[in-house]
Amino acid sequence: MNTLQEQFTAEARELVQQALEDLIALEREGSAGERIDRVFRAFHTLKGSAGILDLPVMGLTMHAAEDVLAAIQTGGLELTPQVIDCALACLDLVSEWVDSFASHGSFPSDAAEAGVAVTAQLRGLLVGDELKPNLSVSSANLTSEHALPQWVAPLIDVARGRIGQKRGTKFVALSYEPRADCFFHGDDPLQTMRKVPNLCALHIEAVRPWPPLPELDPYSCNLRFQCIAAASRSELAGIFRLVPDQVRMVDIPASALIREGETGDDSRLVLVCSIVEEQLRMLRSATDREDFSGRVGSAARAAMNALRYGSRVSLSDEIERARDIALSLLEATPLLAALEKALALLGRTERVPSGSAPEPKPQPSDRAGSRSLRVDEGKIDALGNLAGELIVLKNALAYLAKRVEDESVGQDLSRAVKREADAMERLSAELHAAILQLRLVPISQVFRRFPRLVRDMAQRLDKKVTLVMQGETTEADKTIVDRLFDPLLHLVRNALDHGIESSEERRSAGKPEIGTITMRASPAGRRFIVEVSDDGRGIDPNNIRLKAAERKLLPAEELAAMPDEQAMDLIFSAGFSTTQQVSDISGRGVGMDVVRTSVQQIEGRVSLTSTVGLGTAVRLELPANIAMSQVMVVEAGGQLFGIPMDAVTETIRLAPDRISQIKNNTGFVLRDRIVPICALSGLMNLADAPRSDSAAKLLVVTEVGGKIAALEIDAIHDRLEVVLKPMQGLLSGARGYAGTTLLGNGRVLLVLDLKEVLP
């Protein structure tokens, strides 16, 4: 795709999402003028974007949606759930088209049929014949008619001379009757007619008798335009693509061409001059400074295309040179001068007001935080990789500084090296932190996809549910936020299907008829918390024990002795479900298993709490950033390994008398919890370092996936902030390693994946 198409897809997706959120809010909170205006602007902008890229079917659908919203704004149509449904269906269709356009550069093959169907639904909401025009893009209005209507004959008499000289050329008679309220929909009938190429005849008449002057409404269009043009039907359809319901076109048969006449070059020159004048008017009247480059580029491009269309290639080249000068100087004057010169050479007197103020240089905006810049994710990743290399060099410099200090090369030199190493460490840490900030996005990017989902699923389940979202400004790494949607989707589905009761059940239980699902995000140091809770029926741990026994997950005695908290954890087992009936929403026992697996893949943890009759809450604890990790460097069996600090609970030295034999393993009691001991050297198949039986054991207590264990090690060397690199080449499939990093002395440090290492 070119830059314009990429901008269209990005902007269209943002507008669709914004309109969707506003429509859901309107349904939930009631009609609000500001929100309706915002939705109208979104649809209007989408229509304009479709016009720029020549996507007539999208423009037709957006035009119908605009009419519906305009009727709501004026009070002619009530904002009902049916209206919301139709508007959302329109947005769904646009989203599908935009995705297809982004992938293939075109709309789906059935876009016209789908667009006509949705447009018909939207038009069906409106009342009054004048608001229900013919909808089909390929309707009788745009097809040939065997018999010429009466209005065509006078036009042929006027244009017969011009038509005669262009034998072999296609001629079309056109009747354009704008709607009375066309100005309020952004239509300009006169400007539209000026775009018709090669006019051979033109007639303008009043649709209805003119009222007395005191009663005349200047904002109501009462004109009908009839013309004959030496152009193809497809050219004219493109010009009137946003108002096809207001146009009739008739092919002129060869039998009507009886006399030669003049050419249509004059009308082409008129059109070229009109376009150049419009660019002048636009450049001189614009006051916004933020889109200077886009405005100058757009004006120059339109003028250049018009001049080439009029066979004025040299003038087009001059406009191009003036555009480059204007962009380099950030000053529109050179382009204005070139446009004025082109008009003079075309023999047209400029009709742009001469007193317009010249374009000033764009000034920086004073609004802090009001501007944003789209940056390709790959560029940020490349910058992060460079910063990661700087971190490695920083660690190497710190290692050398320590060597200089230990070897007593000289106090002054040692202090100088240490000082520069500290400065290097500070600056590299600040640089890396600033780069990581570029990858942070608000959690609202994933939260905002759920109001529509909750609305639609609640309607399918015939339940009344409201969604509350809190902490949407909490920020996290984009990769983590993107991967959060699937687990959150399963949690919300379960809350709707299993958690929230029907209206009758809630009334019987003395609860509000409308259930509540809450999605909450909050920062927690280097991590952040996402919680999905509901005020539904809750989960009975005894029911979980019963289902686990039926599925033979654990022996009955072990299930009976299991604490409620541990029993609740069984709900995350693969294939486990408490529902009696499988639906197309949930009940197959894969949702909660997927939640835990997906969260663990991004180094997160999941926990669940529930109270029967009051509701359920699922808590996801996630890293805020995956590009930077803290590791503890430990030694075992003569080798160095890295242990992620997120998994480390504490380190302790334990006397032999506190260690007990528990079944086939050793362990100890830590604050009323039994903690098994695993020798890291044994887990990594390394020889144990010789040690006395009476010596205290050095243990690192870890907790991963709800399981606690103590790793026996030989020594703790350091704690570092590192950039992890995934295992590559032949080692890419090796299990048990989260990645690698370089130490200051150049050695490669293997960082362990404790989920794989621990038995």
| Pairwise CA distance, residues 317 & 448, whole Å | 48
The secondary structure of residue 725, as a DSSP letter, is: B
3-state secondary structure 346-402: CCCCCCCCCCCCCCCCCCCCCCCCCCCCCCCHHHHHHHHHHHHHHHHHHHHHHHHHH
- Token readout for 11 is 């902007």
The predicted-structure confidence for 235-264, as pLDDT tens digits, reads as follows 888 788 777 778 888 887 655 655 443 344
Residue 321, CB-side half-sphere exposure with 13 Å CA sphere: 8
| Pairwise CA distance, residues 653 & 675, whole Å | 14
Spans of the chain below 70 pLDDT: 1-2, 31, 127-147, 160-169, 253-268, 286-291, 347-377, 379, 394, 401, 405-413, 575-591, 626-628, 705-706
- Distance (Å) of CA 184 to CA 66, 179, 217, 222, 246: 10, 10, 13, 14, 16
Question: Which residue blocks in 439-534 are alpha helix, DSSP H?
Answer: 444-447, 450-461, 478-483, 485-494, 503-508
Q: What is the pLDDT of residue 500?
A: 92
Q: Are 244 and 57 in contact (CB under 8 A)?
A: no
| Pairwise CA distance, residues 680 & 686, whole Å | 8
| Pairwise CA distance, residues 657 & 669, whole Å | 12
Three-state SS at 289: coil
Prediction pTM value = 0.55
Q: What is the pLDDT of residue 578?
A: 61
